[in-house]
A and B are shown apart, each in its own frame.
Chain A
């Protein structure tokens, strides 16, 4: 009985082996076909490149390119897109893409049921969206993609809209991005930086005005503030930031303090920074001190000096650094602090990094003391 059972097993295995052999045959055929296609596309690549180059240099005859597009559609698409990186924004290349029906095909694929196809289509549109003919051909297709259920499709659609350089569409992307996944925000942030000045007069004040203090809005607000801070550029933002500087959420106050270094230093903003230096949260106070350091606010010296006495090492270190950079008045405050004996052991043999405040305050005190010695 065992022998019979084993023979049945082996017979089943023989069937399995036969199926695998058949599958191997199919696989090898597919691999050979793919290999031939790759080689053919490679061979056609140079012809496509030459034809596109000829067209860009003024030749209007599209016969060869059209026939190549029929036999090697993907290679032609890749060839046109490859030129895009070298002659970005040229109308003639965009007209070629429209003429060959590429843009129309991408717009169709953008409505596909498969996310991968939609993503690929939007990515292609984005690559050429700077050119007017492509924008006109694509019409509102990217805008529809901004509400796609797939995050990667939304990203590519947003990229296409940003590349269009239309202020209205850029503002739309900015607003949508604040609700989107963190990855999309990170990827689009550097692209939106170019439009920071325009956004400061439209979308940003609107976004700053909407949030309340409820948790979901706080998250959106934080996204907005972090995005603005990540741009690391001066922002012509004429908005009263005091409500944000006094927000109950410490993270919002922290990001606001950072943002204040990038906006015009109005009286209101300066007051907000000075108030931030006395914030109950040391991280917020440290951010305010760093902002003072960047803006070199002379009337912040007393607050910076008070930060030395709060007993928070990092805050004291930041305050000491800022005071050192704020001219005689700042160094004087630092020296007074040292002379009051509130710093650690200023033993030069000890590792100076063990007490950074001492390493800054003591030389300042010595410098302050030197003219006194001379006059004595």
Chain B
């Protein structure tokens, strides 16, 4: 009885492996189309150019206020520097809302000392809420205290019970007085004019623009780890960001500076995970209501992700993104399969590139090796089955390197471009297979954490990998 089954499996395995191989090749071809679309979109944006109106915009009293929300996980020097960097952002009318997620007494002391905090009673009067005069805001863990700085800086600090990153962002939204809110990863490198540049598309079309996001690839760093991370980020930037933006289905990437309409966030019921989840939610709500809307992507280099140089740091950065993707997919799994560019391209693409393809690649390698060991396929066939998709992925990375130059105006150092181009070969020989394993694991961790309600995928705002620890 078992013998015919084994024979059947032996006969079917080569065909199955070939089908998987064709699937992977098809996915690679699809990604090239998306990368090309992204490069053209970024190039179009660059052609439109920027102007030097920021200073004028800064002075105008007609510009709406912006609240920058940050939730660092600790009171380390890096966190304090991050808050100072945010306070240095240029804006005509801005405030900074710093949300502390269950800080220890010692941490609270550090914050108080660093920013000369004093308690304030900016809490919403319950009578007004009951009378329906004030929006009750988003449900969050209890706020213990509010502080303002005695320095001449527009800083409001919220001390609350621990509840995770999404809870912190929601608490920040509740406290913010501004109609526009902004948030950014703590390890992102951003320019001081970021807020003003992000505001422009929002002011140009305030009725339809619900969010504006900006991110660009970071500077080239030496070392294999940094190059491999850059290759991965280039694929994400051109595909997930610029490529999808061409179909108004933009999804944020790590290092993204995100600006959102506060009303839109309140209508969405607040953050459930990080900015990625919020962007998907906003897309879904607007499409369900058949409303014209847009989430604008700016490809200018005003915010860049950190450029990790060590394998450990690369691992952490990728893990944070995977966990955020996992949480976003948990909350919006109903959108797959859906309709429109979100339902048939963005979300399935995210699922495929972040979970299915790594899983299938790994499975096909293992299955192929087992089939070869069992003598079901010849070693030469196995080599071809492995080489074809691997070569395709390498060529996708090489294409991304060249398309980045098309998108960003070809002003990089020729040597760096050549090095990165040929690093794609090294990336596919070992690193890619190793990365696939933990990509799947981290995404499932993020998904599970979201399902259990302990999602902290967004601790990336602080630039640390506390998500895993929690």
> Which A residues, 215 to 248, have Cβ-Cβ distances below 8 Å to chain B?
226-227, 229-230, 232
> Which of A46-54, A114-122, A200-208 lies at the interface?
A114-122
User: B129 CB to closest chain A CB, in angstroms?
Assistant: 12
The interface size of chain B toward A, counting residues with CB under 8 Å, comes to: 48
Contacts of A9 in B (CB 8 A): 21, 25, 388
A13-B62 CB under 8 A given contacts A6-B21, A187-B53, A190-B56? no
B60 touches A34 (CB 8 A): no
Contacts of A5 in B (CB 8 A): 18
User: A181 CB to closest chain B CB, in angstroms?
Assistant: 6
B57 touches A120 (CB 8 A): no
> Which B residues, 1 to 30, have Cβ-Cβ distances below 8 Å to chain A?
14-15, 18, 21, 25
A183-B203 CB under 8 A given contacts A2-B381, A17-B395, A351-B121? yes
User: A212 CB to closest chain B CB, in angstroms?
Assistant: 23
Per-residue contact bits, chain A 12-41, to B (CB 8 Å; 1 contact, 0 not): 010011001001100110111011001000
B62 touches A189 (CB 8 A): yes
Asked if A3 CB lies within 8 Å of chain B CBs, one says yes
What is the interface residue range for chain A against chain B? 35 or more
Q: Which 8 A-B pairs have the closest CB atoms?
A: A6-B384, A183-B203, A230-B61, A31-B414, A183-B204, A186-B62, A186-B60, A28-B414
Interchain CA distance A230-B92 in the complex, whole Å: 13
| Chain B residues near A (Cβ < 8 Å) | 14-15, 18, 21, 25, 47-49, 51, 53, 56-57, 59-63, 121, 125, 127-128, 200, 203-206, 378, 380-381, 384-385, 387-388, 391-392, 395, 398-399, 402, 405, 410-414, 417-418, 421
A24 touches B402 (CB 8 A): yes
Task: Provide the main secondary structure of the chain B interface.
Answer: helix
User: A338 CB to closest chain B CB, in angstroms?
Assistant: 20
Contacts of A197 in B (CB 8 A): none
A28-B60 CB under 8 A given contacts A115-B48, A116-B49? no
Interface residue from A2, A20, A24 paired with B18 (Cβ < 8 Å): A2
A313-B56 CB under 8 A given contacts A2-B14, A6-B385, A27-B402? no
Interchain CA distance A30-B200 in the complex, whole Å: 32
In the complex formed, the residue of A with least CB distance to B54 is A187
Interchain CA distance A38-B411 in the complex, whole Å: 9
Interchain CA distance A181-B127 in the complex, whole Å: 39
B62 touches A10 (CB 8 A): no
Interchain CA distance A111-B41 in the complex, whole Å: 25
Interchain CA distance A353-B204 in the complex, whole Å: 39
User: A349 CB to closest chain B CB, in angstroms?
Assistant: 14
A187-B47 CB under 8 A given contacts A2-B15, A31-B417? no
Interface residue from B48, B57, B125 paired with A152 (Cβ < 8 Å): B48
Contacts of B63 in A (CB 8 A): 186
